[in-house]
Amino acid sequence: MSLAKVCQKLGAGRERTGDSINLAVGIVLRKSVGERVGVGEAWADIHHDTPLPAALLSKVAEAVVIEDTDPYPTPSRIAARVS
């Protein structure tokens, strides 16, 4: 939810009815749960058209836990099989 709140603060969502939405704002996640992230490797792309405040950037950093352990098993993206 932290990333969604960052996007909202940048203008991607509304706080009130009638607020405008900035279609230039969004986050593209480059990694899924369990995928390895190398040192210096980006795990997300933040799209914005205004300067990114340091407070929001720190919220992005807090949104993800990167550990030096064996990878978490990647969950299946298949909800059900229909035959």
Domains within the chain, CATH numbers bracketed: 2-62 (3.90.1170.30)
Q: Higher confidence at residue 32 or residue 44? A: 44
Average pLDDT of the residues in 47-75: 82
Whether this model's pTM surpasses 0.75:
no
CA 23 to chain centre: 16
Residues 6+ apart with CB under 8 A from 78: none
Percent of the chain past pLDDT 90, that is, above it, reads 17
Q: 56-64: which pairs have CB atoms within 8 A and are 24 or more residues apart?
A: 56/6, 56/9, 56/10, 59/2, 59/5, 59/6, 60/2, 60/3, 60/6, 62/2, 63/2, 63/3, 63/6
